[in-house]
């Protein structure tokens, strides 16, 4: 079997991520970090000249840099199998997720897509249908579940070490949108523009990460929520802050906090999950540490690539304990898992399941935004979590 | 003026706090720590024999150890001025707060009272009326505002350093009630018994501390709240956990979390307050540090008795920076402020205001419990904070 | 037997600690914190007027405030047994340790003495002889071994959990003497004056603490050392900084760092002890936490009054886990152990050993100073640790 | 000028780093992370079959995978300019550093070399001479000075913010060699074998990093030292631990600790530098934070890509503050600086200096090993730092 394995780097095309973008460069570093994937082509901007310039700075051949995602997908489809891209990575603002993703799937390309998955829930459901129809691989880059210690946290819950889960506190305070921005900050601009971001601002950008992390670690699903969204910076059209009470399907309750006006905070995603026997705590800003406090024995600290890790968590570490890995490596772990699945698929191996955020997670995230916005506008305390 | 100052230790009588009690011993240590107050008498238990035994272990003269608070107040009142107690410290379970406090006030004794102030809001209002009538001093021991760094936090907000306040996150997770208790744990027993605690369990015991701390530091008042209380341990009659959304009078919003089933947590009270320019963070378990993160400059760490403290905060430190002070010292700071006020009063000095939790804070705390319980039972999202 | 127990507070007299002193007030708080000891008399200053004024501010009766330690000891000796002090606490600068301690012992009083024990090693040996002769109790206040987590650390070593000890790193950086002081800082003045401090400055004041802590936790004794002392502030006559290599009697090695010119540091005593299986770490500035890192399993964190503590460590905690205790409580623990021993002695109970720093530790500390100064002046690498 | 810039990825050949190696993979990730460098060829093992297999797993063309470094250098030299490698990255054990480095330089290839630079000081000096002669670029991968916060630390010292430097404490405890290893651990095997490592074990592997970091941040040079090296694991032929006192050229003093038997420690490199006004502290395990404690004002915390950073430090951050970067990114920063210098050189731009560890640092590191071993064997306290 092994001798039939596809023995080459996997070929990635990129939509978006031209000069001045933040997340495109992150995707490129992450995708290529483990030497399993190479960027072979891109439509880096809807402005063809800008796309060309980006391509040049990435040392791509001129003929693989396209002026639009349509052009890229069409032309790549016509290339010989040994040359054309295997998958598309889409790193545009939210309102330009659906178009390229659908076209790529329809054209037989696997897809990597940034979150939140689409502009609205309807698009998300259509996309899911297409993924299901085509059987193509789909990765939604909820970066934070790429961290080894998040996997370790999930394992502790799965193993029942904490006992039945009772409480989940997940918070995601950032401060970078604390002031009115001028237009020079491209990142800030589209994220606060409803025509590009969709109906939620802060909740879409980071609240979805928080919800996904909570459900990923706990294995629970939110059943109802009570949200209160705020816009603290004058003139802003979308929420820049919100507090949400959560109810989970096993009877556990929780709180989700997300803010982009928590002045002074960087990217302080943090989660705590408490069961009958103890609680775990993980901070994204010190991601190589997982703290577990027990009711009846001393607190334990698990460390990335340290003693006592699950096989899964250890498999996502590249360096010996004490050589910190961070955000880019967590991101790279998602691409690594995706590459493994893709290589298996291309090699005709049987599908043994994969463990990265999927189109279903994307639908769930978009449903969260609908529910959270509805709840915020409602006088009822609890809004059911409908998908 | 100075030569008229009362030049002796102030005399304290205690109600409650017999053997096996936790908080009585804390009060005794705290009251006497700065050598300004001495315990001269007590009614340590409603069981006269137990009270006597407690008195002996405290090396009190037999004739100053009483079988009931009524006896104590009556007998002390008859002692000559140079001997009788100046004030009563009441450290009984909640349902035995009102009786001794009212009797003490009616008999002319100043009062120190543990929180939550009374069994219910009606008692609280009566007590307030009595305090106002008599003009006697009244200290409610919301311990945590005795910490110097909490005072420093308040100062930073008052000075406007953080700008207009937008967000307050206050949380108080404990884990010690994670399991069903047997009756041997006296502390747990009365706190989970509605006939002794009142209508709220966790919220009464620690939620009130959290609310008080939030309002103390921010200078804001809660205007409405949305609460969800839980009882996770089977058979328990009161809440052992709760999540509360808050709305403040300046437009700020917040979240208050309190739990006694956050297994593995000790006494992890923590507060974060964010304004337009930055945010502050304080943890009770590392109380000598106050972290302030700024939007535009490096994070600062203020330290107890360290550089840059306000005069008020510095005045509440006893040891040089780096010699940690803790819970008992914070508690002692409340007694120190009370003793200063009492000595001034006894010396006939003009009232220059004092700065420790008052009967008004107590009323507010009891109102919080009413509101939070009402909100939890309501389907309406927001419940106005009524007093 | 129990009914013969001395049932009263133990009576303390104090030498030194008048107004403006730092450590005297600490001793008074610590001694009285557990309600087992009361201050009954004092000679607070060699200036009789100042002593009187200090006594008044402590609310002592005029006739128990003395103008000199000689007067105090002589007069107290003549008081009836039911009134006179039981022991003397001596909190003067180093050069006034020996005199009052010897006189107290000769007069039949037990003694509590601040470290470093004497002005020089010769005095220390004489004092030891006197203590041995008289059989009186003697406590040397090496505060830091009063912390519960230091006791827990010792227990882990004793239990062999770490395996054979190989390395000890102990460090004590302070920054408060980073600049030339004017004479207004009384604490700084005598500590940097060889006629009051003795032959070592920084090493005497804090280096002795560090050595004591290392030997206390590890159960090892230093056999040779290699020291390099420095004076960084111009004009200063004693060392304000030093680095010392250590060799222990089981073959372990170590490093001891002490500095009073580590600008920005507060009182950052810290120790790490490594054995074959793991290492422990304790910081005085966060004293309620003891971290133990293992070679083969996740790191553990022991917490004051938390799960898994030894009986001894738990017995030195007053408040539930998460209610931080600090420097004053650690100091109080030494007095508590001393009071237990003294009450037993006064009650005619058999000596069951006691566990607080003794006159032998004091001799060892003074020998350390001799050895470290000799080593620093020597070109030989290693200086044997002679006593 | 710009239009003459070499506009392609720079081409790297690798010596060593075959399957089972640790640092080779780190170099490959680091070199390629910023998309400026690509691996084009390699001699991954002295066993030709293994080299081939490694090449295949890296997806290299067969004809660019060589059986020895000699073959690689010879053959690459003959390739046309547009194809052949630009530089060699040498990631073999210490005893195979000198040969390939000399041959590469003699053949006109720039060199990246792992530390310690050579097997002994004589080789180091020869290598330096060759680098000087040829004018080729040379990077010694002292990884830790690739961290942005280390650059920020250096800047604070350079700016004089701390005042004159007085003390440097640098420590590098690891625990992974705490037990006797079997031969299965390839990393451990060669590092403890004098025929491969040279005359120092722990000091060569990590002590050199510590010294380099101290001198890099402080801008000072060691003038004399007093070392004590130890071998704690029985049968081991090289030091696995050592303590060193340091004296610097401006009068500052310091301590350097390195251990590979500090059981439970991971890779806990840490440095503190104190000047007259304050001190800084940096931990490799939490590399995105730099703490600066001041004598006269609150402590400050600088954060990677956060407010207040120097332009240099900020230029070495890839992600917004709060998105942690780690060891691989620090390593990549060295390659980035090297790539910048190399691209400039290839483009015929004037040499404007570069700022990465050089062959001179390598000579200094090897001299340190000579001096530290000599000192450890000497009875003299101080050994001059000779090069």
Our CA angle for D254, C379, C227, nearest 5°, is 40
Q: What is the pLDDT of residue D354?
A: 82
Residue B328 lies in a domain: no
Is B105 in the same domain as B164? no
pLDDT at A1: 39
Instruction: Using an 8 Å CB-CB cutoff, list chain C residues near D179.
Output: 276, 295
CB nearest to C294's CB, from A294, A295, A307: A307
Rounded Cα gap, residues A156 and A160, in angstroms: 6
Query: Residue A300: which of C295, C296, C300 has the nearest Cβ?
Result: C300
**Prior bond of B24 cis (ω within 30°):** no
Give domain status of residue B384, yes or no.
no
Residue A197 CA to residue A119 CA, distance in Å, equals 7
Do residue A298 and residue C303 have CB atoms under 8 angstroms apart?
Answer: yes
pLDDT in tens, D146-203: 999 999 999 999 999 999 999 999 999 999 999 987 666 777 777 788 888 888 999 9
CA distance A157 to A167: 12
Question: Mutate which of A86, A324, A333, A336 to test chain D, going by most D C-beta atoms within 10 A?
Answer: A324
Q: How many percent of chain C have pLDDT more than 90?
A: 91
In terms of domains, do D72 and D190 share one? no
Residue B183 is predicted with a pLDDT of 66
Residue B182: is its pLDDT beyond 80?
no
**Quick count: other Cβ atoms within 10 Å of Cβ A176?**
21
- Residue B50, Cβ neighbours under 10 Å: how many? 15
Mean pLDDT for the stretch of residues D37-59: 96
In sequence order, the 6+-apart residues with CB closer than 8 A to the CB of A95 are A119, A195, A196, A197, A198
Q: Are residues C171 and C77 in the same domain?
A: no
Neighbouring C-beta atoms of residue A60, cutoff 10 Å: 18
Per-residue pLDDT tens digits for C106-124: 999 999 999 999 999 999 9
C94 and C173 within one domain = no
Distance between CA atoms of B361 and C32, rounded to whole angstroms?
32
Q: Is D255–C243 a contact, with Cβ atoms under 8 angstroms apart?
A: yes
Residues of chain C with C-beta less than 8 angstroms from the C-beta of D178? 276-277, 295
Gap from D152 CA to chain B (nearest CA, Å)? 12
The conformation of residue C205, written as its DSSP 8-state character, comes to I
Task: Please report whether residue A325 resides in a domain.
Answer: no
- Is the model's pLDDT at C2 over the cut of 50? no
Are the Cβ atoms of C297 and A308 closer than 8 angstroms? yes
Q: Which of C166, C257, C263 sits opposite D295 (nearest CB)?
A: C263
SS3 call for D375: helix
Contact B303 D303 (CB under 8 A): no
Question: Which of D267, D306, D325 is opposite residue A326, by nearest beta carbon?
Answer: D325
Dihedral angle, C-alpha C367, C363, B321, C237, nearest 10 °: -40
Domain CATH code at residue A306: 3.30.360.10
Cis peptide before A116 (omega within 30 of 0): yes
Mutation choice for D interface testing from B298, B306, B308 by most D CBs within 10 A = B298
Residue B234 belongs to some domain of the structure: yes
Contact residues, chain C, for A295 at CB < 8 Å: 307
For residues B34 and B318, give the distance between their C-alpha atoms in angstroms, rounded to a whole number.
9
Residues C65 and C139 in one domain: yes
Burial environment of residue D277 by CB neighbours within 10 A (0 to 12, 13 to 18, 19 or more): buried
Alpha carbons D354 and A213: distance in angstroms, whole number: 43
Residues D284 and D213 in one domain: yes
Report the C-alpha gap between C16 and C98 in whole angstroms. Answer: 13
The per-residue pLDDT for A188 is 79
Adjacent-strand bridge partners of D111 = D88, D138
Q: How many CB pairs under 8 A join B and C?
A: 108
Per the rule left: phi > 0, alpha: psi between -120 and 50, beta: everything else, A160 is left
∠ CA B277-B283-B285, nearest 5°, is: 165
Which member of B294, B295, B300 has the closest CB to residue D299? B300
Number of folded domains that form chain A: 2
d(CA D126, CA A95): 61
- Assess whether the previous peptide bond of C98 is cis (omega < 30° from 0): no
Residues C161 and C310 placed together within one structural domain of the fold = yes
C329: in domain: no
pTM attached to this predicted model? 0.97
For position B20, what pLDDT does the model report?
Answer: 78
From CA D236, how far away is CA D34, in angstroms rounded?
Answer: 40
Averages of pLDDT over each 10 residues, chain A, 387 residues = 76 94 93 98 96 96 97 97 96 95 98 95 98 97 98 98 98 96 74 85 96 98 98 95 98 98 98 98 98 98 97 97 98 97 93 88 97 98 97
Say if residue B88 is in the same domain as residue B149. no
Query: Are B42 and B63 spatial neighbours (Cβ–Cβ below 8 Å)?
Result: no
The nearest alpha carbon in chain C to B307 belongs to: C264
Instruction: Give chains near D: 3+ CB pairs under 8 A.
Output: A, B, C
Is cis: bond before B116, omega within 30 of 0? yes
Q: Which pLDDT score is estimated for A121?
A: 97
Asked if residue C328 is part of any domain, the answer here is no
Q: How many CB pairs under 8 A join C and D?
A: 137
Residue B250's pLDDT is what? 98
CB contact under 8 A, C264 and D299: yes
If pLDDT is split at 50, 70 and 90, which confidence band does B2 have?
Answer: very low
Helix (H, G, I), strand (E, B) or coil at D279: strand
Question: Buried b vs exposed e over B312-345: b needs ≥16 C-beta within 10 Å?
Answer: ebeebbbbbbbbbbbbbbbbbbbbbbbbbbbbbb
Element (H, E) at A77: helix A69-78
Please say if the pLDDT value at position D339 is more than 60: yes
* Cβ atoms A271, B283 nearer than 8 A: no
The confidence band for B113, taking pLDDT boundaries of 50, 70 and 90, is very high
Q: Do the Cβ atoms of C306 and A298 come within 8 Å? A: yes
Q: Residue D300: beta bridge partners?
A: B300, D292
Q: Exposure pattern of B69-102 as b/e (b: 16+ CB <10 Å)?
A: beebbebbeeeeeeebbbbbbbbbbbbbbbbbbb
Mean pLDDT across the stretch C274-298?
A: 98
Determine the 3-state secondary structure of A41 from DSSP: strand
Does any domain span residue C240? yes
- Which residue from C minimizes the CA distance to D379? C381
What number is the average pLDDT over the span B92-113?
97
Say if residue B1's pLDDT is above 60.
no
- Same structural domain for residues B291 and B202? yes
In chain C, whose CA is at the least distance from the CA of D254?
A: C243
Q: Do B35 and C22 touch (CB under 8 A)?
A: no
CATH code where residue A122 lies? 3.40.50.720
Express each pLDDT in B38-87 by its tens digit.
999 999 999 999 999 999 999 999 999 999 999 999 999 999 999 999 99
Domain shared by D369 and D246, yes or no: yes
* Confidence category of residue D2, pLDDT binned at 50, 70, 90: very low
For residue D294, give the chain B residue with the closest CA. B307
**Residues C278 and C340 both lie in one domain:** no
The secondary structure of residue D380, as a DSSP letter, is B
Residue A289 neighbours by CB distance under 10 Å: 18
Closest CA to B322 of D239, C262, C243: C262
d(CA C364, CA A81): 81
Which chains lie within 8 Å of chain A at 3 or more CB pairs, if any?
A: B, C, D
Inter-chain contact B243–A263, Cβ cutoff 8 Å? no
At CB < 8 Å, which residues of chain A contact D? 7-9, 22, 25-26, 28-29, 32-35, 56, 58-59, 174, 176, 265-268, 284-288, 303, 306, 318-329
Shared domain for C135 and C154, answered yes or no, is: no
Are C108 and C136 spatial neighbours (Cβ–Cβ below 8 Å)? yes
Higher-pLDDT residue of A180, D293: D293
Chain C residues closer than 8 Å to D299 by CB: 264
User: Does residue C173 lie within any of the structural domains?
Assistant: yes
Residues of chain C whose beta carbon is less than 8 angstroms from a beta carbon of chain D are: 162-163, 166-167, 169, 171, 173, 175, 178-179, 226, 228, 230, 232, 241, 243, 245, 253-255, 257, 259, 261-265, 272, 274-279, 292-295, 299, 378-382
Q: pLDDT tier at C1 (50, 70, 90 boundaries)?
A: very low
The predicted model gives B213-239 an average pLDDT of 97
Give the mean pLDDT of chain B: 95
Half-sphere exposure of B297 (CA within 13 A, CB side): 9
Map residue C22 onto helix, strand or coil. Answer: coil
What integer best gives the mean pLDDT of chain C? 95
Inspect the interface and report whether the beta carbons of C308 and A295 lie closer than 8 Å: no
Asked if the Cβ–Cβ distance from B287 to C327 is below 8 Å, we say: no
ipTM value greater than 0.90: yes
Mean pLDDT, residues C59-80: 97
The rounded distance, in Å, linking the Cα atoms of D226 and D5 is: 50
What's the confidence (pLDDT) of residue A37? 98
| Predicted local confidence at residue D183, as pLDDT | 66
The CA distance from C201 to the nearest CA of chain D, in Å, is 17
Q: A300: distance to nearest CA of chain B, Å? A: 11
Check CB contact under 8 Å for D297 and B307.
yes
Which chains sit next to B, with 3 or more Cβ pairs under 8 A?
A, C, D
- Residue range B131-136: average pLDDT? 97
pLDDT band (50, 70, 90) for residue D103: very high
Q: Identify the band that residue D230 occupies on the pLDDT scale cut at 50, 70 and 90.
A: very high
**Of C262, C349, A220, C335, nearest to D273 (Cα)?**
C262
Of the candidates C351, C330, C366, the residue with the CA atom closest to the CA atom of residue C136: C351
Please compute the mean of the pLDDT values over residues D278-297 and round it to a whole number: 98
Residue D127 lies in domain: 2-144+335-358
């Amino acid at each position: 079997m092994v001798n039939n394995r596809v023995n080459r780097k996997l070929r990635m095309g990129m939509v978006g991520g031209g000069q001045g973008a933040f997340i495109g460069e992150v995707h490129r570093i992450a995708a290529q970090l483990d030497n399993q994937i190479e960027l072979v082509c891109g439509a880096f901007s809807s402005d063809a000249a800008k796309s060309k310039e980006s391509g040049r700075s990435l040392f791509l051949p001129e003929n693989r840099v396209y002026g639009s995602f349509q052009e890229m997908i069409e032309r790549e489809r016509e290339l010989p199998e040994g040359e054309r891209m295997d998958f598309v990575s889409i790193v545009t603002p939210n309102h330009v997720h659906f178009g390229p993703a659908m076209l790529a799937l329809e054209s037989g390309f696997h897809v990597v897509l940034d979150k939140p998955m689409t502009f609205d829930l309807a698009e998300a459901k259509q996309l899911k249908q297409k993924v299901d129809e085509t059987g193509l691989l789909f990765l939604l880059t909820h970066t934070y579940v790429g961290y080894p210690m998040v996997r370790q946290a999930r394992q502790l819950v799965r193993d029942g070490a904490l006992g039945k889960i009772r409480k989940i506190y997940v918070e995601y305070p950032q401060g970078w949108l604390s002031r009115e921005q001028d237009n020079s900050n491209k990142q800030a601009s589209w994220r606060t523009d409803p025509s590009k971001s969709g109906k939620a601002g802060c909740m879409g950008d980071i609240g979805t990460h928080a919800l996904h992390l909570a459900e990923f670690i706990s294995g629970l699903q939110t059943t109802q929520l009570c949200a209160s969204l705020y816009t603290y910076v004058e003139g802003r059209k979308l929420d820049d802050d919100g507090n949400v009470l959560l109810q989970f399907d096993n009877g556990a309750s929780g709180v989700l906090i997300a803010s982009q006006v928590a002045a002074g905070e960087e990217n302080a995603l943090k989660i705590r999950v408490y069961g009958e026997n103890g609680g775990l705590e993980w901070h994204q800003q010190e991601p190589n540490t997982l703290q577990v406090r027990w009711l009846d024995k001393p607190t334990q600290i698990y460390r990335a690539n340290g003693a006592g890790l699950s096989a899964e968590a250890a498999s996502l570490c590249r360096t010996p304990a004490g050589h910190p890995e961070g955000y880019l490596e967590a991101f790279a772990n998602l691409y690594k898992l995706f590459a493994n699945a893709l290589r298996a698929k291309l090699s005709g191996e049987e599908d043994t399941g994969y463990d990265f955020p999927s189109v279903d997670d994307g639908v769930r995230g978009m449903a969260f935004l609908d529910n959270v916005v509805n709840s915020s506008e409602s006088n009822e305390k609890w809004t059911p979590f409908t998908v």
